[in-house]
Structure 1
Amino acid sequence: MSDTPPDRLATDERSPFHDAAVLARGIGIRFNGEEKKNVEEYCVSEGWVRLPFGKTLDRRGNPMTVKVKGTVEPYFLDTAS
């Protein structure tokens, strides 16, 4: 496995950008210089993250999200083994 995180990653299993192996390894996100723990999806090349919007849920029970633009810096929480 590479030491660079993917360009785009989502926590939702239904997304084509979901990768269980990468998520199991652990991903940290630094957004605009601030550590974020609640990122649902990110894209480095386009410069955005999806964050939950309060405690509101959509009609399927998934958290409502808002797309925020800025500088995205993903990193692995541990080293490759």
Structure 2
Amino acid sequence: MTDTPPDRLSNDPRSPFHQPALLERGIGIRFNGNERNDVEEYCISEGWILVPAGKALDRRGRPMTIKLKGTVEARFLT
């Protein structure tokens, strides 16, 4: 494995960008200069993150998300 996180990564196992081995290492996300712990998915090159929209759930019981645009920096925690 490399020491640079992938450009795009998702927590959702149904996503094609889900990589369990990388998620086990732990990923830290800095968004617009602030550390975020609630990121569901991110893309560094496009500059966005998906975060839960409060406690709202969709009709399948998954949390609803909103896309925030800005500067995204990812790093491995371990």
Report if TM-score (shorter chain) is over 0.5: yes
Normalising by structure 1, report the TM-score: 0.95
Q: Distance in 2 between matches of 1:24 and 1:62?
A: 21
Q: Which runs of 4+ in 1 moved over 2 A?
A: none
Offset from partner CA, 1:52-75 (integer Å, 9 cap, x none): 000000011110000000000000
Q: Distance in 1 between matches of 2:64 and 2:5?
A: 25
Residue 77 (1) aligns with residue 77 (2): yes
The percentage of aligned residue pairs carrying the same residue is: 69
Normalising by structure 2, report the TM-score: 0.99
How many residue pairs align between the two structures? Answer: 78
Unaligned runs of 5+ in 2: none
1:55 match: secondary structure = strand
Q: Distance in 1 between matches of 2:74 and 2:60?
A: 29
Q: Distance in 2 between matches of 1:61 and 1:12?
A: 13
Unaligned runs of 5+ in 1: none
